[in-house]
Amino acid sequence: MAETASDRPVVAAALGGFTPDVFARHLESAPSWWHERKRAAYSRFEALPMPGRTDESWRFSNLSGIRIDGFTPDAAPPAGTAAASAAFSLAAPPMLTFVNGRLASRGELPAHLAAKGVVVSTLSEAAARSPELLREHFMAQPQKLGSAKFAALHEAFIADGAFVHVPRGVEVDMPIVLIHSASGAGTAVFPHTLIIAEDNSKVTVVDHFHSNDTLGQFACGANDLYAGHGARITYAAAQCWSLETLSFQFNSTVVRRDARVQSLNLHLGARQARHESLSQLQAPGGFSEMLALTVASGAREFDQRTLQIHQAPNTKSDLLYKNVLLDRSRTIFSGLIIVDPDAQKTDAYQSNRNLMLSEDAESNSLPGLEIQANDVRCTHGATSSPIDADQAFYLKSRGIPEKAANELLIFGFFEEVLCRLENEELHAALRDLVRTRLGR
């Protein structure tokens, strides 16, 4: 390592532990259909620099916390690894459970859905059955939010992932639950979920990222959401990695004509987490609702970057990101709404609310707009404030003790996001996760 560093000091630092040797070993275990793409991705990863201090898309980020050395991809899970947490329970059994990136178990898709052509499989299976869909949708969208390097790393080292395909006109009446688990010290995982909802179809997918460890791990995940004409996708992700994990997650959402995508990201785990979410409203009538809830405690950092691009007229996007900050935690929200020159009648909204519960916590908000069409409705707002004293007083005046009053208000703060979910069961399950995380 030291020798390599002296030969190519800059490059070595930028590769961390993911050196060409490690990559070569990874390729041996990867299916051959994937090799070409993976090689190209690895070259991109090698060529791209680590984020720098003057890089606007990393403004306020703790760059020194992003060390990617010492992690092991393709690690076999230690014996007796539990694949899921008891805290998260939905009636529907998990369709796919991945441990350290590989399929560990699968549930059975109800017959009536299978009969209609709904597919829930691994990416490897999908590559064999419908390679054209993978070509069209897997990591096909641009990386615009600063992490092109890490997205390339994801593509180079991904072992497998989930593939959800809902044919035209089919409505899936139960949430499809996917579990991505990491186990063992220094483990690196590259979870992926690809959802394709064809025209006029409807589906709800839940990703649960999970680790029972208290160890340092590395998660570098991505998901691709594609909603065809008139389709509706509800996507929820519960990020419950170990509290020592370095986490990257890249989301891409493509919304076609009259389609609607609702995504909710719950961030509870990780030591340092970077989440990038890109929504492209590509055709008239499209609507993307982007929601996030974060509980930041200890000295953790949650760094969320979003981009709503309105590429067609009469499209709508609505973003609400809420953070609760405890202890010495930091959050960064950097959001941008772009309205292209011809995207008239755009209706775009972006809101970041930070609830400050500690003297030492720090919130950073960068809510941005770039508007190039005049007939639009665009607003954004950002607030950082403690529990509202008037509200707390009002509750107390009704006889509620201070602590209980504060808790009510904190959960009220969360509910505004959670209640946007139509699925009651999912709503309750996510709320329970938040309660558990807050220890209340």
Angle, in degrees to the nearest 10, between helices 424-438 and 402-418: 140
Residues in the chain: 440
Closest approach, Cβ 319 to another protein, in A, equals 14
Q: Which of 6, 32, 64, 374: binder of another protein (CB under 8 A)?
A: 374
Alpha carbon distance, N-terminus to C-terminus of the chain = 46
Window of 98-106, 132-140, 235-243, 361-369 that interacts with another protein by CB under 8 A: 361-369
Is 377 among the residues that bind another protein (CB under 8 A)? yes
Say which DSSP state 375 is in: S
Report whether 307 contacts 281 (CB < 8 A). Answer: no
Residue where the block lists tokens 């770039």: 370
- The single residue among 2, 36, 111, 341 that binds another protein, judged by CB under 8 A, is 341
CB of 344 to another protein, least distance (A): 7
Of 187-195, 279-287, 314-322, 368-376, the segment contacting another protein by CB under 8 A is: 368-376
Q: Which of 370, 402, 422, 432 binds another protein (CB under 8 A)?
A: 370
Question: Of 134, 151, 219, 356, which lies in the binding site for another protein, with binding defined by CB under 8 A?
Answer: 356
Give the total of residues touching another protein (CB under 8 A).
Answer: 39
Q: Which helix (H) or strand (E) holds 128?
A: helix 123-129
Taking each continuous run of H as one helix and of E as one strand, the counts in the chain are 11, 20
Tokens of 62: 């703790």
Task: For the beta carbon of residue 347, count every other beta carbon within 10 angstroms.
Answer: 15
> What is the separation of C-alpha 396 from the centre of its chain, rounded to a whole number of angstroms?
38
Which CB, 215 or 357, lies closer to another protein?
A: 357
What is the residue whose two structure tokens read 């220094």?
186
Task: Single out the residue of 73, 146, 175, 367 in contact with another protein (rule: CB under 8 A).
Answer: 367
**Contact between 412 and another protein (CB under 8 A)?**
no
**What's the min distance (Å) between Cβ of 62 and another protein?**
13
Nearer to another protein, 4 or 344 (CB): 344
Residue from the set 19, 358, 391, 436 that interacts with another protein by CB under 8 A: 358
Among 311, 384, 423, 436, binds another protein (CB under 8 A): 384
Task: Write the DSSP symbol of residue 80.
Answer: T
Q: Is 368 in the site for another protein (CB under 8 A)?
A: yes
31 Cβ neighbours under 8 A, 6+ residues apart: 124, 127
Q: Does 314 bind another protein (CB under 8 A)?
A: no
Q: Which of 386, 391, 428, 435 binds another protein (CB under 8 A)?
A: 386
Q: Could you tell me if 227 and 197 are in contact, meaning their C-beta atoms sit under 8 angstroms apart?
A: yes
Could you say whether residue 132 binds another protein (CB under 8 A)?
Answer: no
Contact with another protein (CB under 8 A) among 32, 54, 64, 397 = 54
User: Rounded to an integer, what distance in angstroms lies between the CA atom of residue 210 and that of residue 247?
Assistant: 12
Among 354, 395, 405, 413, binds another protein (CB under 8 A): 354
Q: Considering only residues 361, 417, 418, 433, which one is a binding residue for another protein as defined by CB under 8 A?
A: 361
What dihedral angle (degrees, nearest 10) is formed by the CA atoms of 121, 126, 127, 130?
180
Locate 434 and state its tokens: 């938040």
What is the spatial distance between Cα 264 and Cα 218, in angstroms, rounded to a whole number?
22
Question: With binding defined as CB under 8 A, does residue 383 bind another protein?
Answer: yes
The contact set with another protein (CB under 8 A) reads: 54-56, 59-60, 341, 344, 354, 356-386
